[in-house]
């Protein structure tokens, strides 16, 4: 593949299935759909962790979160490990970030040649409440924001995303032409459709004025489903604040509207790339850091291993990328690092970290790794036990360190309605996927390592009472905005 420039477009909390090109019946995503039609769409792609900070640390380093100790939203990347942006910067490539990073701080050397409009974790500490994962785990005080902030209008996030899109367009017109000798990488990271579910009116009413079905299994929202999801719903009590069916509908319309709003910003950037004469020399990658539960099973937010939260859109487009190709092979964000290296002509760099677990996305697109495994893990907020996801072929195992495992056949049961883990007929599948998990890590040892780090950090931050008194931030804020604790 000939070296070319690369634009990486990342959204926040965009569930894979809620995209036109992934088969959603009515969500309006024409720009992302156009990328997919002209490129490669990965139909079984996963985040390496279904929450922001660990997912983004892994995306930067190309390693699983247990390999880098990025356990939760209080253990961010801070430039201490090689990243794709630091490797490329060392080789003389211009690497620019615009928008959300969710690293520790802009005072750290995060590896980019330039960071613009960067959002990082609050106070360099992030979500300390998520460190508490035992019998003392408190309810999250900011859960009310999910329901009560849903509706039409502008929020700090939509204004921030508009600024990000505007800055990215300016960079493509004014700065990109200055870097013609060596391919550059522009990382543009939006916060939509992450809550608050306040969507611009023209996008909100597109969906609110439609007949929206209730979330999947919403009638089970107060019933036991599995101890892990029951824990999550008891800690993040989002659904307690949905007092009426109309409030649920407003949240759904807000989420869908934010996806269409985000797609609109993607379109602005793609048009700028084309109008600036860069299309022939630039590839585009679109993905999201993780998905969103969208009210299914009475859960909102992320942090679980169901497809809604763990599966992500992943699309490549541009020169030398096959058009209209769909890849069923499981993939993760760890596969992006080696792709970036090849895309810009740096795959042979001696500074590329050794033992990266990913496979170049272009190799997957060419048919490599048909039997490979996609892996994700979770050790953070809303959980009392560790969760590990293994996807191989049509089968998906979720292993819990302390609770009963779950097994789904996603070809027969894409909505994950039937847990097959207890069926003796699936004993061989369970054994195979469990063996695949243990090839990647020792789940008990990983769980211990996460808990040891979290226990130490609780002490370092004054103990549980001090952390609980600090409050729940709900969500991070853009640069220049004061955080709102509850």
Tell me, what CATH number does 241's domain have?
A: 3.40.720.10
Structural domain for 63, as ranges: 5-369
350 pLDDT tier (thresholds 50, 70, 90): confident
Query: pLDDT averaged over the chain?
Result: 97
Give 223-234 pLDDT, tens digit per residue: 999 999 999 999
Give domain status of residue 278, yes or no: yes
Give domain status of residue 447, yes or no: no
Give domain status of residue 407, yes or no: no
Give domain status of residue 484, yes or no: no
Give domain status of residue 75, yes or no: yes
Q: Which residues pair with 100 in a beta bridge?
A: 119
Give domain status of residue 427, yes or no: no
101 contact partners, CB below 8 Å, separation of at least 6: 56, 110, 115, 118, 119, 120, 189
Phi, psi of 454 (to 5 degrees): -65, -40
Question: Closest by alpha carbon to 236, among 469, 447, 474, 406?
Answer: 474
Contact 155, 192 (CB under 8 A): no
Helix (H, G, I), strand (E, B) or coil at 16: coil
Mean pLDDT of 279-290: 98
Give domain status of residue 314, yes or no: yes
Give 136-179 pLDDT, tens digit per residue: 888 999 999 999 999 999 999 999 999 999 999 999 999 999 99
Whether the pLDDT of residue 75 is over 90: the answer is yes
263 pLDDT tier (thresholds 50, 70, 90): very high
353 pLDDT tier (thresholds 50, 70, 90): confident
Give domain status of residue 277, yes or no: yes
Give 455-473 pLDDT, tens digit per residue: 999 999 999 999 999 999 8
313 contact partners, CB below 8 Å, separation of at least 6: 14, 16, 19, 22, 32, 45, 286, 287, 288
- What pLDDT, on a 0 to 100 scale, did the predictor assign at position 53? 98
> How many folded domains does the chain comprise?
1
């Amino acid at each position: 593949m000939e070296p070319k420039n690369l634009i990486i477009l990342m959204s926040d909390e965009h569930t894979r299935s809620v995209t036109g090109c992934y088969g959603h019946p009515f969500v309006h995503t024409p720009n992302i759909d156009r990328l997919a039609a002209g490129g490669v769409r990965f139909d079984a792609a996963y985040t390496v962790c279904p929450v922001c900070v660990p997912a983004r640390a892994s995306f930067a380093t190309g390693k699983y979160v247990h390999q880098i100790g990025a356990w939760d939203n209080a253990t961010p990347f801070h430039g201490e490990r090689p990243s794709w942006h630091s490797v490329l910067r060392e080789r003389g490539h211009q690497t620019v970030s615009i928008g959300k990073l969710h690293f520790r701080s802009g005072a750290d050397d995060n590896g980019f040649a330039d960071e613009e409009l960067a959002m990082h974790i609050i106070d360099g500490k992030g979500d300390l409440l998520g460190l508490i994962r035992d019998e003392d785990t408190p309810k999250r005080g900011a859960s009310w924001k999910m329901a009560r902030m849903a509706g039409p209008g502008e929020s700090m996030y939509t204004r921030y995303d508009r600024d990000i899109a505007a800055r990215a367009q300016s960079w493509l017109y004014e700065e990109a032409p200055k870097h013609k000798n060596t391919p550059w990488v522009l990382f543009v990271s939006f916060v939509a459709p992450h809550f608050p579910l306040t969507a611009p009116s023209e996008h909100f009413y597109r969906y609110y004025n439609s007949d929206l079905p209730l979330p999947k299994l919403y009638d089970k929202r107060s019933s036991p489903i599995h101890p892990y999801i029951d824990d999550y719903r008891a800690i993040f009590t989002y659904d307690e604040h949905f007092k009426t069916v109309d409030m649920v509908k407003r949240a759904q319309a807000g989420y869908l509207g934010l996806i269409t709003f985000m797609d609109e910003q993607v379109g602005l950037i793609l048009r700028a790339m084309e109008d600036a004469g860069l299309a022939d020399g630039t590839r585009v990658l679109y993905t999201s850091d993780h998905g969103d539960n969208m009210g299914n099973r009475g859960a909102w937010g992320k942090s679980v291993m169901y497809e809604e939260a763990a599966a992500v859109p992943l699309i490549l487009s541009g020169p030398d990328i096959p058009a209209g190709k769909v890849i069923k092979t499981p993939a993760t964000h760890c596969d992006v690092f080696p792709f970036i290296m090849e895309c810009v002509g740096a795959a042979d760099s001696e500074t590329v970290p050794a033992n990266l677990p990913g496979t170049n996305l272009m190799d997957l697109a060419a048919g490599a790794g048909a039997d490979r495994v996609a892996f994700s893990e979770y050790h953070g907020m809303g959980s009392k036990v560790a969760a590990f996801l293994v996807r191989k072929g049509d089968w998906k195992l979720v292993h819990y360190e302390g609770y009963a495992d779950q097994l789904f056949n996603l070809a027969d049961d894409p909505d994950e309605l039937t847990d097959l883990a207890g069926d003796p007929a699936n004993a061989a599948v369970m054994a195979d996927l469990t063996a695949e998990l243990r090839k990647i890590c020792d789940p008990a040892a990983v769980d211990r390592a996460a808990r040891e780090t979290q226990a130490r950090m609780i002490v370092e931050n004054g103990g549980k009472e001090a952390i609980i008194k600090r409050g729940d931030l709900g969500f991070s804020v853009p640069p220049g905005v004061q955080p709102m604790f509850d």
